[in-house]
Structure 1
């Protein structure tokens, strides 16, 4: 199981929803925790269904800020224990050995003068019950100056408060793969600032039970925060060959009609069952190639630019590549808009 944690900075626009859908599909995610949804319950319920999750606990936003959600697939044995506007605490029972462990999605208070409330909450959760524990989310704080690039120096006392509660809970930082930081203020030049605010912690018992887990930082164009995906050593991007389905929309395109007419009856005897089957196969193969050429380029371009975005962000140690990165983010979001328009038109056509 590969949990996701993401401060999505709002799920009110189609771009963010499609980005979330892509993450779930790409990594075959079964449990997702996201923060700052800035959405009400009805909106998150719709998104839950769209990304294929059967169950969920939704904490709606207050005004135009906040909002948490923990969503999980039908096959996951998950039980909610407690929650607030800043956390969701649950237990998960593994299906193969009935091993029960604790998952906490956590959102540190965004206001600095109230950050101590978050640390009190973490300490309180630690004392609730003892289980193998994974805690992940946006803590809105760093542990050391190495987790920051640009901007004014972080007060040591502020970082010490976070470090003290991490030690009190017996947490180990699971580390990461990818960009050194998880948040950017999106400014350019000397004003650009990076912080590693999003983390995954676990106690020793959890790391021993689930050895080899890694935290992947995924930069996305729709949020100023990276998404965090917990991976094991065997995790791969999910790829599945799909069965051919002819789309009625294609018949409205003259090129597709011509391809089908040319494909049918070429090099096969239509008087035999074998020949008919060969023609049907050809009429599936050629339109599929055509579809990928015509409609598949948007998806291909999005993925290529997302790969480039992650690579550039990882290289941008000093913040000098801000203009290029922000421009690439804009290009990806425009492509996401194009893709949303395409799927919307296709839905209307059907």
Structure 2
């Protein structure tokens, strides 16, 4: 299976939708998680259908901020578990191996003072530890200082809180290929800031179920975030 996770920074622009359709056509994901759609559920449904995705779970933004969507093709079986302004949690019946696993699309708060709230949400989602579990999205935090270039260095206690949260919930990085940084604040060269904010993390049972799973940081042009393309086996990765 292929899954695309992308902080799109708004889907109200026709040019953005055109580029989105091109990305989906090129990489053919069966499931897509969008963050910061910045459009209401009715508008998001129209965008989904224009992109060839009938099924979806849409979460309204708060005014002009936020907004989530998880959408999937008809040959994928999805069962909604819970959702909020910061996450969509589902069970996936994988027809390739006949097994069930969890996918959580996660959008961490962009505000430093609300980081604990994000990690507490992640904690509340940790249940049924035997089930393979993949969490993917924009966590709005880095794990180590070298995952940021430019700007004010990140406070160690903030990075440590993020690392501790992942360790406590037994989630490990899936790894990636492509550009090192997946978010960029496009300023002048002297004030440019780049960080690794988007990632996929999973428990050991997911890693055992999909030992060939990979994540690619794709090239982007309409958002300051790279799309993440998750593939669960090498054959699909080669075909993208």
Q: TM-score, normalised by structure 1?
A: 0.66
The aligned residue for residue 181 of structure 1 is 181
Alignment of 1:1-350 (within 5 A): 1-127=1-127, 130-231=130-231, 232-235=233-236, 236-237=238-239
The one-character-per-residue Cα deviations of 1:192-228 (angstroms, maximum 9, x if unpaired) are 0100000000111111111111110012110000000
RMSD in angstroms over aligned alpha carbons?
1.2
Deviation at 1:70, TM superposition (A): 0.2
Following superposition, the deviation at residue 140 of structure 1 comes to 0.1
Give the structure with the larger helix fraction: 1
Q: 1:59·1:69 contact (CA, 8 Å) conserved in 2?
A: yes
Q: 1:20 & 1:128 partners in 2: Cα distance?
A: 35
Instruction: Assess if the C-alpha contact under 8 Å between 2:182 and 2:195 holds in 1.
Output: yes
Q: Is the 8 A contact 1:26 1:237 kept in 2?
A: no
Aligned residues: 238
Greater strand proportion: 2
Please state how far the C-alpha of 1:237 moved relative to its aligned partner.
4.5
What SS does the corresponding residue of 1:140 show, helix, strand or coil?
Answer: coil
Computing the radius of gyration over CA atoms, which structure comes out larger, 1 or 2?
Answer: 1
**Partner of 1:256 in structure 2?**
none
For structure 2, the 5+ residue unaligned runs are: none
Contact 1:101–1:131 under 8 Å retained in 2: yes
Structure 1: which 4+ aligned runs deviate by more than 2 Å? 127-130, 235-238
Q: Indicate the SS of the match to 2:229.
A: strand
CA contact (8 A) 1:219 1:225 kept: no
Contact 1:6 1:33 in 2 (8 A): yes
Change (3 A) 1:96 1:214: closer
CA distance in 1, matches of 2:158, 2:43: 36
CA distance in 2, matches of 1:189, 1:24: 31
Q: 1:30–1:53: 8 Å Cα contact kept in structure 2?
A: no
Asked if the contact 1:150–1:192 (Cα under 8 Å) also holds between the matched residues in 2, the reply is: yes
Query: Which structure 1 segments of 5+ residues have no match?
Result: 239-350
Distance 2:83 2:56 in 1: 12
Cα distance between partner residues in 2 of 1:162 and 1:86: 16
